[in-house]
Amino acid sequence: MVDVTLKDLARELKISTSTVSRALKDAHDISPKTKQQVLELARKWNYQPNPHASSLRRQKSKTIAVIIPEIANNFFSLAINGIQSVAQQKGYHILIYLTHENFEQEKSIIQYLQSGRVDGILMSLSSETRDTAHLSEFKQKGLPIVFFDRVCDNYDTLKVTTDDYFSSFEATEHLIEQGCQKIAYLGLSNNLSIGINRMNGYLDALRKNNLAIKPARIIQGSKDHQKNYALIFELLKSNHRPDGIFAAVEKMAITCYQVFDELQLSIPSEIKLLSFSNLPTAPFLHPSLTTITQPAFAIGKEAASRLLSALQKNNQPLDNETIVLKSTLIKRESTKW
């Protein structure tokens, strides 16, 4: 059986294709009888409208692009989950693009998307992105875009983030309360506001508690895992060895675990590690590990539902507003196991 088209249905029912088309979308000006006939035959023949034809004609595709730095990361996969839940409900399709934290890739994906393939974009910036000129083209085309998590400050549109500054501050204070005096910071190289906010939360917590800020204890990682590993390794062997570590990025925390493993350090007795993490096991796998968990699913959901609502309201422009969702600090002070 080959593809069934509107024409086929029309021919069979001896009516015009436009009538069939209208009947299928339940237009009010079609007689119930015709409607019923059309629907019946369509079901019988398993008619599936060709989305490309429809997209071409209507100049909208019921498709959105999700651009993220990576996918093998629980935060992003949970976010996609949230995005998908609303997309599915509203009948939208999701195209996935990965930048691998690479600015050039980000640029070319965005360039490509000018083509009209998608109606809107959900995006989390790559950590290498400094210059956001490539985004400005969007504005001209009027392609709506919503940023989530790693947002773009100087672009007027809707953004969905978490309370990065506050949770980092709280996290660092928690380590201090646990008796840590020499707290290291692990981040990802930071042009992005998200990194700046987290770092500031950390710094301010140290300041407030009159603890010295040692640049040697501040590590800005990159996408180069080997390098990150080496940096952390060095830190732990140096005389700036921390008694607590605040990892502002899950990836860095994982690398950190690996170093601990290599050095056969015991956690948490020797060094307390507190990290942003959305690993399902994070809160309990390693006992006494305190974690900041972001509401990843909710972020995805919020971002998607804002975007799709705007699309459905005839491309209503998005407010230049930042929606801040709260992370939770899951405290584990004692070793249960």
Residues that bind DNA (CB under 7 A): 3, 5-7, 14-19, 21-22, 24-25, 28-34, 49-50, 53-54, 56-59
Counting contacts by CB under 8 A, is residue 95 touching a second copy? Answer: yes
Check if the beta carbon of residue 205 is closer than 8 Å to that of residue 173. Answer: yes
Cβ-based nearer residue to DNA, 55 or 132: 55
Beta bridge partners of 291: 275, 330
Check if the beta carbon of residue 191 is closer than 8 Å to that of residue 199. Answer: no
Counting contacts by CB under 8 A, is residue 223 touching a second copy? Answer: no
Looking at residues 102 to 121 of the shown chain, list those that interact with a second copy (rule: CB under 8 A): 111-112, 114-117
CA angle 97, 294, 260 (to 5 degrees): 90
Looking at residues 54 to 73 of the shown chain, list those that interact with a second copy (rule: CB under 8 A): 55-56, 61, 63, 70-73
Residue 58 CB, nearest distance to DNA (Å)?
5
Phi, psi angle pair for 149, to nearest 5°: 60, -80
Cβ-based nearer residue to a second copy, 112 or 181: 112
Nearest Cα neighbor of 202 from 170, 236, 240, 243 is 170
Check if the beta carbon of residue 71 is closer than 8 Å to that of residue 77. Answer: yes
Distance, CA of 221 to CA of 249 (rounded, Å):
10
Looking at residues 126 to 165 of the shown chain, list those that interact with a second copy (rule: CB under 8 A): 137, 140-141
Give the DSSP letter string of 128-191.
T----HHHHHHHHHT--EEEESS--TTS-S-EEEE-HHHHHHHHHHHHHHTT--SEEEEEE---
Name which of a second copy, DNA, none residue 163 binds, using a CB cut-off of 5 to 8 Å depending on partner kind. Answer: none
Site mask for a second copy (CB under 8 A), range 285-314, x = bound: xxx---------------------------
Cβ-based nearer residue to DNA, 111 or 328: 111
Please return the burial class of 67, using the count of CB atoms within 10 Å of its CB with bins 0-12, 13-18 and 19+. Answer: buried
Name which of a second copy, DNA, none residue 26 binds, using a CB cut-off of 5 to 8 Å depending on partner kind. Answer: none
Structure tokens at 225: 């895992």
Residue 53 CB, nearest distance to a second copy (Å)?
5
DSSP 8-state assignment for residue 248: S
Please report which residue ranges of the chain form alpha helices under DSSP H. 6-13, 17-24, 32-44, 51-58, 74-90, 103-112, 133-141, 164-177, 193-208, 225-237, 250-263, 296-312
Looking at residues 225 to 284 of the shown chain, list those that interact with a second copy (rule: CB under 8 A): 254, 257-258, 260-261, 264-267, 279-281, 284
Nearest Cα neighbor of 116 from 49, 56, 54 is 56
Which listed range, 1-9, 20-28, 184-192, 309-317, lies at the site for a second copy (CB under 8 A)? 1-9
Among 96, 213, 216, 230, binds a second copy (CB under 8 A): 96
Cβ-based nearer residue to DNA, 18 or 238: 18
Name which of a second copy, DNA, none residue 111 binds, using a CB cut-off of 5 to 8 Å depending on partner kind. Answer: a second copy
Beta bridge partners of 121: 65, 145
Binding interface with a second copy (CB under 8 A)? 1-3, 46, 48-53, 55-56, 61, 63, 70-74, 76-78, 80-81, 84, 88, 93-96, 98, 111-112, 114-117, 137, 140-141, 254, 257-258, 260-261, 264-267, 279-281, 284-287, 336-337
